[in-house]
Structure 1
């Protein structure tokens, strides 16, 4: 079995799967699309949906020749089974350029799956679930609600950090009781109220908010910061210097185990989350995990209580890359048996 892994270079999923990517049966293709200036302007015009409805502009494939290399072709050209794992905005290869046709022409046995790294609503811009169902052999979601709503395959695809990661390499800096970093999305008001509640109770806190529009930035405080970008390594440094991580789901109807849960477990940090479904998780431990419904029922005592040593009830294999690949093989090729 071979695996073609499509993910941007700076994506944290590439980091999570780095042990897997060392396998000779896995080929990783960097799908970072960084077209700026005049090239970016021309690219936008060439693939414009509005313009192409008026006139179908030819030769769009010139933009994806880097994804039709001899190396890729040689890797998948045999008739053996091959799974293509597609992450993040790698779906543009299929949406705009029908990359699946090129892949399946080379190897008809290939199976292509898209793994949602976030809830479906976050992909709304330029993403149509019905088109996706025609482009991919299967769509996988870690979220039970989305799986039911959109007819996706549910799998809690949490994977562990690389086996040999040296956490001490990302340590250093100021210590905090609780840390949050994430996009503002529809939760900015709630984040502000949580921050105020924590500060009122003397909790040392750091919130870093990305993607907030200028018009949304109405609250300011020393440790409530608006950021444009930080590297994943820098983010891990912040996490390793906090006693507890905060997870705020975009919607309380969404469930599933996000990367925030993975990070808390892998870094051995406490976690506070508004995902009530986590109390049913096999790794749930009330000493390590606390849930809330609003800023008013935040468990301040949970933050102040020191547990030594910290320990999660967690079976890493159940959420490993090997377990995920085993599930994908079984699901994608079950009709061929």
Structure 2
């Protein structure tokens, strides 16, 4: 077993996704690489990495930050495994942090865990697409949640992770029948079609679409177009207060999203266009409805929403980040 240092993200979603690791004596989760804004260190860091400056002239000396990224409080009896999420890796490459870790921990393993498709990854200042050979040279193992990327690039597959035990804030949120939230990403037509169908059954839809162009908006009573994303904590509260979750996957994505894990964690039925989910070990047609043909859904969804089956996927242990660490450990034995 390794000492695991997860170099994560400031994004709130990962705080909840990796929460099961809290309290483990061989794990440190680092929630992003930026020091607090309220400190002099934070001000200096942000100035040093400020895109407007670095896009004009690359400011040298970023390696001075490498020993600040995490405080090592772990037992020295174990070897180290560093797991990078993409956001942290994007900054770390600017300070040659991977090379720093290799020098300080000669026996360590370094892993990249991709929770988005590889084609969407870009460099911090140049915005160039990541180059696969450069990434392979940095890591002992690259894990992706996307099966298509694994086939294309030779990555190792493991689904994204999600925790089941955490405390949520007490928010005043109305109950709904169907909940959906997503960035626009060109999928509005499908959302509207499903909204109209679900509403025709008398279901109360609670839909949020982020950053939708004004000329693309289609007004509906249960759809809110937002310019600022709702907090992930609020998203989870709204998940708890609904009966069904709707998931519309972006084009070319092929994996299990956080919407899927939320359905499992909070025991909600899922309506999704992710066709690959029928091969998932937790798939149950009574609990997951796969949208195949948008023109011929009425009968199938009617039966699905009217069925009052008890919702329990029995998969919370397998989707936990603890299972991810066990998987990584097995790869280096």
The TM-score with structure 1 as length reference comes to 0.83
Partner of 1:91: 89
Q: 1:99 to 1:38 in 2, by over 3 A?
A: closer
Indicate which of 148, 154, 158 corresponds to 1:151: 154
Q: Deviations over 1:242-289 (max 9, x none)?
A: 1100111112x5322221111001100000111111112221212111
Question: Which whole-Å CA distance do the structure 2 matches of 1:248 and 1:293 have between them?
Answer: 12
Deviation (angstroms), 1:325: 1.1
Q: Aligned pair in 2 of structure 1 residues 29, 117: CA closer, same or farther (>3 Å)? A: same
Match of 1:300 in 2: 301
Contact 1:46/1:60 (8 A) holds in 2:
no
Instruction: State the distance in 1 between where 2:189 and 2:122 align.
Output: 22
C-alpha separation between the residues in 2 aligned to 1:110 and 1:91? 16
1:132 aligns with 2:135: yes
The corresponding residue for 1:61 is: 63
How far the C-alpha of 1:185 sits from its partner, in A, is 1.7
Name the structure with the higher helix share. Answer: 1
The match for 1:258 is 257
User: Residue 46 of structure 1: CA displacement?
Assistant: 4.3
5 Å-filtered alignment, 1:1-337, equals: 1-31=2-32, 33=34, 43-48=50-55, 51-52=57-58, 57-62=59-64, 66-67=68-69, 71-72=71-72, 75=74, 78=76, 80-124=78-122, 126=127, 127-130=129-132, 131-162=134-165, 165=166, 172-212=172-212, 214-215=213-214, 217-227=216-226, 228-251=228-251, 253-298=252-297, 299-302=300-303, 304-312=305-313, 314-331=314-331, 333-334=332-333
Residues matched between the structures, number: 318
Uncovered stretches (5+) of structure 1, i.e. residues with no partner = none
Against the structure 1 CA distance between its residues 118 and 270, is the aligned structure 2 distance closer, same or farther, given a 3 Å change threshold?
Answer: same
- Partners of 2:180 and 2:17 in 1: how far apart? 20
Offset of residue 202 of structure 1: 3.2
What CA RMSD, in Å, does the superposition of the two structures yield over aligned residues? 2.9
**Distance (whole Å) between structure 2 residues aligned to residue 230 and residue 113 of structure 1:** 31
- What secondary structure does 1:193 align onto? helix
Counterpart Cα distance in 2 of 1:297 and 1:121: 33
Provide the TM-score with structure 2 as the length reference.
0.83
SS at match of 1:242: coil
- CA distance in structure 2 between the aligned counterparts of 1:79 and 1:129, rounded to whole angstroms: 36
Distance 1:64 1:90 in 2: 12
**1:79 Cα deviation after fit:** 7.6
- C-alpha deviation, 1:159, in angstroms: 3.6
Task: Give yes or no for contact 2:160–2:258 (8 Å, CA) kept in 1.
Answer: no
* 1:203/1:95 CA distance change after superposition, 3 Å: same
CA contact (8 A) 2:7 2:83 kept: yes
- Distance (Å, rounded) in 1 between the aligned partners of 2:159 and 2:248: 18
Deviation per CA, 1:210-242: give whole Å up to 9, x if none: 233x44543233321122122211101111111
Q: In structure 2, do the counterparts of structure 1 residues 171 and 291 end up closer, same or farther at CA, with 3 Å as the change threshold?
A: farther
